[in-house]
Amino acid sequence: MSDQHTALRSMHDLGLAAWFGGSLMGALGVNGAAARMGDPTQRLPVASAAWSRWTPVNAAAIGAHIAGAVGEMVTESPRMAAQAGVGRTSAVKTALTVGALAATGYSRLLGMRLAKSGGPSVQGVTEPNQQTPANVAACQRRLKMLQWAIPALTGALIVVTAYMGEQQKPGQVLRGVLGRANGVLNMSRAMGRGGGLMHASRKAGMGAAKIAAVRAVRRQMAMSGR
């Protein structure tokens, strides 16, 4: 099996970039421009039309990102098990992804409700005025929080992804694998003295860990072209 996973990485990164950039542009550009319209009854319909045109592209980007992320998780599972810290970072990334998906889905639901409300008078896409119906105003207030939560969560995903890229450097892999092995050995020592057989098993485990570390480093060096 090839160590090169360019297609998976491209799907992951391009999808995440579109997800983050689209949400940030929408909050600042679409919603901000619609709020400047002179007719307050046209602000919601114009913004809703713009978001509706973007939704299929955003869905495709999210799908590409998820497919790439799952593919990378499968291909990197051996390193995740052997290298200390990788599993914890992967858990953080998964939690951020779930949060961003939930925020995006709920945001779209609120947007659809606003699109069906017709053309009520509003201060902005996410800001009601004195003439705004109560149910529309409630949706707007929720949407105001979500429009910033989505770029915050996806931006955090970009940062975590960059950190995980650093974890794939050969030196980081070596330290992580040896750190995991030392942790296992320390745990076995804490369980008590085991005589000659336990000592031999510890030495064998340490030797296997060193071999795994060397193999992991060689794999990462091959992937990076070094």
Check whether 124 has a pLDDT greater than 50: yes
Query: On the CB side of 200, how many CA atoms lie within 13 Å of its CA?
Result: 3
Task: Choose between 124 and 86: higher pLDDT.
Answer: 124
pLDDT digits (tens, 9 = 90+) for 74-116: 887 777 777 777 788 889 999 999 999 999 999 999 999 999 9
pLDDT digits (tens, 9 = 90+) for 32-56: 999 999 999 999 999 999 999 999 9
d(CA 196, CA 178): 23
d(CA 55, CA 80): 34
* Whether 144 contacts 127, CB under 8 Å: yes
Encode 20-55: b = buried (16+ Cβ within 10 Å), e = exposed.
bebbbebbeebbeebbeeeebeebbbbbbebbeebe
What DSSP letter does each residue of 28-72 carry, written as one string? Answer: IIIHHHHTT-S-TTSHHHHHHHHHHHHHHHHHHHHHHHHHHHHHH
Residue-range domain boundaries for the chain: 6-168, 175-224
**How many percent of the chain have pLDDT more than 70?**
72
Supply 3's token pair. 């160590």
Q: 187 falls in which pLDDT band (50, 70, 90)?
A: low
Tell me which residue of 126, 124, 125 sits closest to 141, measured CA to CA: 126
Identify the helix (H) or strand (E) that includes residue 222: helix 195-224
